[in-house]
Amino acid sequence: MTTRTLVMVSAAIEAATGVALMAVPGFVAQVLLGAGLSDSGVAVARVAGFGLLSLGLACWPSRDAGNGHAIRALFAYNLLAALYFGYLRVGGGFVSYLLWPTCFFHALLALLLARPAYESM
């Protein structure tokens, strides 16, 4: 998989997740975490959706392989997301059936982005 394709896939997934959080934050939380959201949680989830959509749009690659800033941003996001989703499943008391797949998927993306992120420094 080329770096450009990897960045495009990661950016598209984050943008789509952002749109989902803006549109139906309670559903995303229920499916991903197995828990509902309070009114303030809905507001925070929508703002997080704005951020994920913005990340996806900012990191969408141009005709070249993608710039180093975008690659490093996606690497950092995926690494931190993998660690946090793993923590939520192991130590946070959340038991949703999608937490492990989400954790492993973000860890895989972080692993695949690690070399391009390092090389872009």
40: which 2 tokens? Answer: 């303030």
pTM for the model: 0.88
Structural domain count, the chain: 1
- In a 13 Å sphere around the CA of 113, the CA atoms on its Cβ side amount to 31
Beta-carbon neighbour count of residue 93 at 10 Å?
9
Q: Is the pLDDT of residue 65 over 60?
A: no
Q: Is the pLDDT of residue 114 over 60?
A: yes
Query: Rounded distance, CA 40 to CA 28, Å?
Result: 15
Q: Is the pLDDT of residue 66 over 80?
A: no
**Whose CA is closest to 42, among 26, 53, 18?**
26
Residue 82: domain span: 3-119
- Length of the chain equals 121
